[in-house]
Structure 1
């Protein structure tokens, strides 16, 4: 499957330059993966589907404003953050992860590809969300297969500006996770705006939850490092 095949299949506008960069980024990931554990996928063709195509499924032009700001939380090997940065060079894209060596790879790859709208940040979400440069700042925040919804919502939503979108990339259990996260979503003034179901060419089901944040982040969120995982807020009655 080529870059243009993927864009066309998902009805995403993009030219041959963008398509070529998507393919090249996948090649760079596969090359680096021989010496560094970036992804469990070892085959280039499989990676195009399960990493690149999968990353593109989160894209919906309605939620990615012209000249806007994007944060990819727990970016890992740069999926979906680098893919979105390639697709939307007008947006300022921040890729955040707690593993520095993966971020170094992303910086190197961005330089090779000539992708200049990417900044990497080495930090835990709980720490960075207390920084005024990031808190309540981004038009859209993405997270791909990062923790359960009650946990990732507490980590991600403090970065989303009032009126912005958290795009959570999930699998078949998305609705159950969404119900589990009702407590933290309520406390964060956030509601589900829309959802999108996709089937990858390899057959796996993906669900994208687009959540609109309608208020500023309460001062007590996010809680201290590790607390969201130890004591996830799963229902409104769990307020504390």
Structure 2
């Protein structure tokens, strides 16, 4: 028997100024059950207890987008918003973001076939109509005219150095749109190093938002990058190069 996730309605409201409705609570539970079952075959995540899953997958995923509704400087076009999640893994942050924002349209991308197969199965099980999953490398999709500069918002959660993440996702963002880097630890040196990279990528750091997680009280950072001009066609560089030679 798979355990029930805590509803945490007061914590949702106190920390993100948002609460899930009954349908969203049901979908979060189904997502948790899918992860627990899928984990038995594919080792999708080490985060499996109900409280850890709630904080480190659900709350953490929505932290990045919740502030968009309250911070004027992070304004992006009205819904339906076109959103892409690069390196989604088992579907985070993309799946919780899609559940919380059913009028947004999300593309979830990962280079691992088994993970995208799991995501596609989960999308069907949850009855989500606003999601599309794709097996592809970030360097490849960023050069594809069908995807390049097509998104209001791009998400990436701790899959490499900040400058590498920026090179992966900023080519996908429309001019005027935002990219969000989800990070744990962050220092002034990280900001300094990222500033030069995002300048090369036609963007600037709009905001660095730090917040304690509501249960374990660790610090999470979301770095918001605003794209102000088109990016040179040489970016993203060929597969493997951004990681080998970060900007």
**TM-score, normalising length: structure 2:** 0.89
**Which of 214, 225, 238 pairs up with 2:239?**
225
The corresponding residue for 2:3 is none
1:4 aligns with 2:9: yes
Q: CA RMSD in A?
A: 1.6
CA contact (8 A) 1:26 1:52 kept: no
CA contact (8 A) 2:111 2:135 kept: yes
The corresponding residue for 1:177 is 190
1:141 aligns with 2:154: yes
1:209 aligns with 2:223: yes
CA contact (8 A) 2:198 2:205 kept: no
- How many angstroms apart in 2 are the aligned matches of 1:64 and 1:144? 22
The corresponding residue for 2:72 is none
- How many angstroms apart in 2 are the aligned matches of 1:83 and 1:3? 15
CA 1:32–1:5: 2 relative to 1, 3 Å: farther
**Which of 31, 37, 44 pairs up with 1:31?**
37
- How many angstroms apart in 2 are the aligned matches of 1:140 and 1:82? 15
- How many angstroms apart in 1 are the aligned matches of 2:140 and 2:7? 39
CA 1:209–1:23: 2 relative to 1, 3 Å: same
**Which of 155, 158, 171 pairs up with 1:158?**
171
Name the count of aligned residue pairs.
233
The corresponding residue for 1:72 is 85
Matches within 5 A, 1:109-128: 109-128=122-141
The corresponding residue for 1:238 is none
Gaps of 5+ in 2: 1-5, 70-74
Aligned residue for 1:19, secondary structure, equals helix
**Which of 3, 8, 22 pairs up with 1:16?**
22
Shift of 1:125: 0.5
1:103 aligns with 2:84: no
1:132 aligns with 2:138: no
CA contact (8 A) 2:76 2:176 kept: no
CA contact (8 A) 1:70 1:92 kept: yes
- How many angstroms apart in 2 are the aligned matches of 1:197 and 1:186? 22
- How many angstroms apart in 2 are the aligned matches of 1:48 and 1:216? 37
**TM-score, normalising length: structure 1:** 0.91
Gaps of 5+ in 1: 234-240
Shift of 1:211: 0.9
CA 1:85–1:6: 2 relative to 1, 3 Å: farther
Deviations 1:30-80 (A, max 9, x none): 221122111122323311211111111111234473101000010001110
Does 1-10 or 106-115 show the bigger shift?
Answer: 1-10
CA contact (8 A) 2:211 2:219 kept: yes
Does 211-220 or 41-50 show the bigger shift?
Answer: 41-50
